[in-house]
Structure 1
Amino acid sequence: MTNILDVVKSKDPDQKEFHQAVTEVLETVQPVLDRNPEFRQAAILERIVEPERLIMFRVPWMDDQGQVQVNRGFRIEMNSAIGPYKGGLRFHPSVTLSILKFLAFEQVFKNALTTLPMGGGKGGSDFDPKGKSDNEVMRFCQSFMLELFRHIGPNTDIPAGDIGIGAREIGFLFGMYKKLRNEFTGVLTGKALAWGGSLIRPEATGYGCVYFAAEMLSTKYDNFEGKSCLVSGSGNVAQYTVEKINELGGKVVTLSDSTGYIFDEEGIDKDKLDFVMRLKNIRRGRIKEYIEKYSGAVYTEVDTSLDHNPLWDHKADCAFPSATQNEINEKDANNLVNNGVKLVAEGANMPSTPEAIDIFVENKLLYAPGKAANAGGVAVSGLEMAQNSMRISWPKEEVDNRLKIIMKSIHQSCVDASEEYGAPGNYMVGANIAGFVKVVNAMLDQGLV
């Protein structure tokens, strides 16, 4: 295993996020390799860390002042052993090849855990939609799709939204794909309900994360009633995490964006959440505006000189990191433990550093890694694909019920795998092994391809 990691690091020495994701998985699947020597003989590790296809392209577009701008576009088609590539597109200035490779690698195992027939991929651009007009976003999306359409399709690669890509961007991307291919197919998920979208899709990642956390609590004969929760982020995942926690009797006291975070000791109830949704989804405002309406709340601006995030330094029972990768470091993890947090469920992808995860595990927290806890989004994307294929639309209750069943199944898969391989209660080990075994067995069945 050490040799594989050395090779990965020597090939791409600057891709630290990808190295982090690969290291976590390879370290936890060591017992599987020891039990199945045929995996090494087939060079499974060497194959699984390499994308099947990596596409990088330029995206020229014109801003409202008539100036031509150029961004980079990417699509990482990581693994298609159990189905067509499936994974989001991210538009954000921080997008690099390393970040997209780590996301695609995680997506492979996350999708496997859902039990739906989906491989793993990821893509995006370093384009920043913030502050851009609708026309600028449309021109960028159309230019982006002018290249991407060659590589995707309903049976090949089905992108979705991620950070920076909401209903507006999906609409522009789908419209250009439809025009270029002269066909109306379910090639993108996260579509509007009027033209092929699925009910519960916007809510799915947040709802699914809370459903998974509820399953973890149930193993301790506990539930969300009266629980105080810390949530980071203020996008779709965070919003619907708050909504579901409220519904189950918990209380959320924090939300954040890239400028800072708010702490509302009274809790972010339905009315306050409705305000946040209007603020972020319609007005595209900043979370600081929350305290202008609700004077009881406190706003703390981001301070880059700090070696920790003060959002995680409040007394609470549960934490839901739902913003971005590596937002919880070692000091944050210690603060969470010292402030009484007993459960951490990752709504974002890889939001905890390896040092933070070690602290969670050492202190026996109920810790749900993103590839398990936030799989609800891609699960309902898979359900959207099924509805598109059948040209039908399921009612909200049916989609939500299927989501609950999938998250319950993922939880059980993690529990079973962790117990089988000698790490009972370790959801990270369980998630990595359960996803890895399913993908690897499919790869072996299909030969050397």
Structure 2
Amino acid sequence: MRAGNRIRKGVWIAGLFILLLAAACAAVYYCGSMIADAHTISRLNGSVQFGHSSPDMESFEADGDLIALSDLLNYTGSYANLSSHYYKKALNRSEGQGGMMVYNAILYALDHGFSFISVPADTCPSEILSKIVYYAVFDQPMMEENTVLGLTGGALTYQEKTLQRYYIFLPTNDTEHLDYKKQALEKAREIVGNMPASNGTELEKARYLYNWLVENVRYTEDQNYNESKPHYLYDALLRGETNCDGFSNAFTLLLNLCGVECFNVGNDVQSEEDVGHTWNVMKIGGVYFQADPTAESSLYKATGENLYLYFCLSAGALGNGEYEELIRDVAPVCSDTRHDLDAVDVFVEGLERANKDLPEMRAAIERLEEGASHIIIRCDAFADAGWENSLKAAEAWFSDCKVVVTLVRAGQQYCVVFRGDVTGRLP
């Protein structure tokens, strides 16, 4: 149920916000760990420098590995099987070797607990740097999109030679967060390992793991959750409470572990109140569909039932809107509608054409009278009519029902009609 449930995206990030750091500061930190000779400067110019940043990214030290760009070109990382690499493949097609080396540098930082990366500025155009970081974050479930990521440019000057650099800050890539992520990974493997063998198809596997998340994880009510740089995967899989990034990362991780392609997508921030949302795209039978375990979990909390209203749908049926700009040109359209009505009992095209005498409406009423716990109505006109008008129309459809029913809004296009008075279970 999405009314009043616009999922928060937390600390500032619909795109990547820009940190302004003084280049002189960068030079101080670099010079503290570099040998002052021409060979070192030459090597630095063709290499990626790793290090650590403070949690607020106001200071950093380039105290980690120095890796040649060429050595990163084919780097796959320690967690290659956890990702579909959907965005990485798109990056390789569009941005070539430079973009790939920056992407792989982010993977290297993830593997080794580095939260600071310095990249030669001529590796790739500055305007695509934020796109590369976003691609890596949406591909990799071990990275968090809903946190503060920093990008800035700077210069290292030594012995009259100036090296232009890009600085990337990943504050939840530190060793503490990495330890929590490893614990979450072990839990994910346990969950997948316990999946019954009867779930043999891609759709059955995805449905089982979706159900596990919906029933075992709840959406956090903590308004300050993101400010603490939380352990999203750990919170989802081991603590049972997280935000939309924890849900989507966990679903991506679980599906990829069992061989079903999955990755994250997100939408743009629309206002200060509507701070954006992250959900999933999965590939079932060679076709891309969308799923939103966060929204389903909120509905489950209210009703006690997993209704699968946000599982394996077209983009239009899910209703989360347009993708954010950085992924809009590469993320799948998800236009296949074959599963849009799988969980729906009655589909009504418009309010003016619906009435209680429709054969499918009569059949739904009879199901409730015979003991069904609920039926689900989808009406695309609900979104335009508003919930008050939609509720009046839907109440008229069930006015002759012989049992008490409760109508619950579920997103913009769905109404769940429960047998009995369930208002005490609703938030």
TM-score normalised by the chain length of structure 1: 0.24
More helix by percentage:
1
